[in-house]
Structure 1
Amino acid sequence: MALLKVKFNQKKRVKLAQGLWLLNWLSVLAGIIVFSLGLFLKIELRKRSDVMNNSESHFVPNSLIGMGALACVFNSLAGKICYDALDAAKYAKWKPWLQPYLLVCVLFHVGLLLVALCCFLAQGSLEGTLADGLKSGMKYYRDTDTPGRCFMKKTIDLLQIEFKCCGNNGFRDWFEIQWISNRYLDFSSKEVKDRIKSNVDGRYLVDGVPFSCCNPSSPRPCIQHQLTNNSAHYSYDHQTEELNLWVRGCRAALLSYYGSLMNSMGAAMLLVWLLEVAVTVGLRYLHTALEGMPGPEEDPACEAESEGWLLEKSVSETWKAFLQRVRQLAQGNQVEAQGGGEADQAPGAG
C-alpha cells in the first residue's frame, strides 16, 4: 500500500508544479546565501590563520561552499523540471531521469544535515586549534627581525585590541614567555643579567604584558610592567585592578566569536535542509501524480484525476526491498569475480 497517498486533479497538479517552481528558485537563493556564508567564514578564519595550528578548521567553510554550489545546481535543475512538468512533450525527456534524480536529492539532504551538525560540533576541535596556535604565535611575538615571523607582533597586538583580550587563557600567559626581543635589552645591566641567569632556559621573563592588553576604560594610565608588584605603583593592588588589563583570554574570545558564527550558520543550514526536504517531497508527489495519469490517447486534455504518494509501499516494505536489491548486487559482483577467476585459470589447465 502506498504511503501518504494524495489525489490530484488538473488544477492541483498545476498549483503543485507552480509552487514547486517558486520554492526551487527560493532554494537557489538559499544556496547562494549558504555559499556566501561559507566564503565569509573561510575569509574570517584565514584572517587569523597565523594563530591557528592547522587547516582542520576550514572543513566547515569548505563544506558550506560546496553544499551551497550543489544546492544552486540541483534546484535550478528541479525548477526546470517543474516548469516542464505539465507539458507532456517536454516532460517526456525528464521522465527516465526523475527516479535517479530523487535518490541523489536524498543523498544531498543527508550531506546537508551532516554539514549542519558539523557547524555545531566543530567548536571542540576549533578550541584545540586556537589554543596551540595562540601559544605558538605568542612565542614568536618578539621575533620582529626574523623573516617569516616579523608580522607576528602586529598580528597579536591587533588581535588583542580587536577582541579585547590578553594572552591565551589570560594576561599571566605573558609572564611565562620572553616577549621582549634581545635587541631591546641592555645586557650590560645587572637586572637584565640576573633575570636571564635566574631562568633555566636563559630567557628574559618579566611580570609585564604588551601594550595591546591595556583596557582603555581604565580610569588610570595603563600599568603593563611589574604587574604583581604593588609597591612599584601608587595606590595599586594587582588583585583588584580588574579594569587595568583585559581579563579574558584570546582563546575564549575567538572561540566565542567563531562559535556564534558557526551556530548561526548551523541554524541557517537546518532551515535550508527543511526547505530542500519540502521541495523533494513535493517533487516526488508531482512525479508520482504524473506517472499515474492515463495516456494522451485516453485523456487528451490531461484533466483526469491521479494519485500521488511519497513511497510506493510502506516504510518497512521499502526498506526490505532496498536491502534485497543490495544483496542481489553483492551476489552478482561475487559471481562475476568467481567467473573471472575461472577464466584466468582455464588457459593454464590446458
Structure 2
Amino acid sequence: MSPVKSNGVKDGKSSAKNKTPKKELKSRNNTPNAKPKLKSEKGDKPVSTQVTYKRIKLFSMIFTIVAAILIILSLHLLWTSINIRSRFGSYLNMISSGEGEILPTLLAIPVVISLILDITIIVFVYKLFADKREPLANKIIFYLVLGTLAVMVLTLVTIFATLGHVFGSSKHVEDGIRVAMSKYAVSSYHKKQIDRLQIEFQCCGSTKYDDWYNISWSDQAMSSTDSMPSKTPFSCCKIKSKFPCIHYAIDCIGTSYLYVPEFNLSVSATGCHAKIIKKKRKIGMTIVGYLILFICLEVLMLVPVRFLQTAHSTDYKFDDAAKTYTVWLIGSNPNGPASTPLLKKDEKGGKTSHSKESGKAPPPVPPVPPELRE
C-alpha cells in the first residue's frame, strides 16, 4: 500500500504545480512587459522594401521617360490654350468681355506651374547621382514632390471649375450676341466678328435667323433694299446649300428661283447661341480630358522620383552597386539614415555577415555562467 500512497503524493504535487491561479494569469497578462499587438508595430513604420542599385537605375530610366512625355504634353497644352484664346476666345470676348480668357487660363495655370516644377525636378534628380554627398538636393526634391502634389490638387479643382463653367448658365451669351448684332451697322469690329462667327459656325442670329428682322444692320445710304422685310446679312447663307442664297425677303415665296422657305431655305436656321455653347462644351471636355491625362502622368513620374529620393536619403549618394537601398512612399525612413551593404566581410575570420543598422549600438555580450567557466 505504501507505493500507492507515495505515487498519489507525487501525483498530487505534480498536479499542484500545473495548476496556476486565475489571479496570477490576469496579472501576467496585465504586466507592462507584455508584447504589443501586431497592428501597432506595423503602424509605427511605413511600408518599405529593399532594392538593389540596378532597380535604382530602372527608377531613373522610368522617371526620364515619363518626364520627357510630360514636358512635350505641357508644351502642347500651352499651344492649345493660346489657340483657344486667339480663335474661339475672340468670339466670346466680343459677346462678353473677358469670357474668352476663362477656358485658356484654366488650362494654362496648372500646366505652367507643373512645367516649372518638372524641369526643376529633372535638374535635381540628375544631382542625386553625383560622386559627392548631396543632402541639399535630396531635401529640395522632397519639397518639389510636395509642391507637385499640391499642383495635382489644384488641377483637380481646375477640372471641376471647367465643368461648372461650360455647363453653367449661358443666358449672358445669348444676350451678348444680341448686343453685338445691334452694333453691326456702326462698328466695323463687330461687323467683321459677327460675319466670321456666322460663316465659321454656320449659324444666324442669336437664337434664330429672324433675330435680324428687328435690327437695322444695313447702311441705309447704300442699301436699296432697306424697306424689304425679313432680311439677314449675307454671312447667314449656308455654304453647302444647292440653291441661290436668298437672304432678303426670306419668308416670301419667290418665283424666279422657285424659292419656298419651307423647302429650300438658304440661310442657316440654327442660332449662334446654340453653336457657341456646343463648341464651348466640346472645348471644355477636351480640357478636362487633357488635365486628367496630365494628372495620371504626374503620378507616374512622382512614384519613381519618391523612390529615388528615399533611397538617396540613407547615404545622400549612390556610390556602391553592392548596396541595397530602402525605398518607401509615405512616412519617414524606417531603417535609420544609412543604407546597408548586401554582405560584409569579417575583419578577423573573413566570414561574411549582414551589416548592422547604422545608429544602433550592438547588444551587450551576456556573462558566462559559472558552471561553464570550468
**TM-score where L is the length of structure 1:** 0.72
* 1:5 match: 48
CA contact (8 A) 2:133 2:315 kept: no
Is 2:276 the counterpart of 1:254?
Answer: yes
Note the residue ranges of structure 1 that are not aligned, 5 or more in a row: 144-148, 193-204, 314-350
Cα distance between partner residues in 1 of 2:126 and 2:254: 81
* 1:99 match: 142
Q: Deviations over 1:150-195 (max 9, x none)?
A: 3322321222122211111111211232223343478xx9x95xxx
* 1:200 match: none
Alignment counterpart, residue 74 of structure 1, candidates 114, 117, 141: 117
1:231: Cα distance to partner?
Answer: 7.0
CA contact (8 A) 1:60 1:118 kept: no
CA contact (8 A) 2:182 2:217 kept: yes
CA contact (8 A) 2:54 2:321 kept: no
Relative distance call for 1:34 and 1:310 in structure 2 (3 A) is same
1:107: Cα distance to partner?
Answer: 0.7
CA contact (8 A) 2:145 2:302 kept: yes
Cα distance between partner residues in 2 of 1:26 and 1:234: 58
Give the letter aligned to residue 303 of structure 1.
A
* 2:249 match: 226
1:187-226 matched pairs, under 5 angstroms: 206-226=229-249
Cα distance between partner residues in 2 of 1:295 and 1:271: 33
CA contact (8 A) 1:28 1:71 kept: no
1:15: Cα distance to partner?
Answer: 1.4
* 1:16 match: 59
CA contact (8 A) 2:251 2:261 kept: yes
Residue 305 of structure 1: SS of its match in structure 2?
strand
Cα distance between partner residues in 2 of 1:300 and 1:107: 32
Q: How many residues are matched?
A: 289
Higher helix proportion, which one? 1
* 1:159 match: 197
1:184-333 matched pairs, under 5 angstroms: 184=222, 206-230=229-253, 235-242=258-265, 244-291=266-313, 293=314, 301=320, 303-312=322-331
Cα distance between partner residues in 2 of 1:152 and 1:294: 67
Cα distance between partner residues in 2 of 1:250 and 1:300: 66
Cα distance between partner residues in 1 of 2:232 and 2:204: 8
Relative distance call for 1:101 and 1:305 in structure 2 (3 A) is same
Relative distance call for 1:175 and 1:282 in structure 2 (3 A) is same
Residue 261 of structure 2: SS of its match in structure 1?
coil
1:55: Cα distance to partner?
Answer: 0.7
1:31-110 matched pairs, under 5 angstroms: 31-49=74-92, 51-87=94-130, 89=132, 91-110=134-153
Cα distance between partner residues in 2 of 1:211 and 1:122: 33
Cα distance between partner residues in 2 of 1:234 and 1:290: 82
**TM-score where L is the length of structure 2:** 0.68
Residue 241 of structure 2: SS of its match in structure 1?
coil
Note the residue ranges of structure 2 that are not aligned, 5 or more in a row: 1-42, 333-374
CA contact (8 A) 1:230 1:237 kept: yes
- Larger Cα Rg: Structure 1 or Structure 2? 2
Q: Deviations over 1:204-243 (max 9, x none)?
A: x93221122122433332222222233787744323334x
Q: Deviations over 1:112-159 (max 9, x none)?
A: 22233434442235844532321111111122xxxxx13322321222
CA contact (8 A) 1:51 1:130 kept: no
Give the root-mean-square deviation of aligned CA atoms.
Answer: 3.0
Residue 308 of structure 1: SS of its match in structure 2?
strand
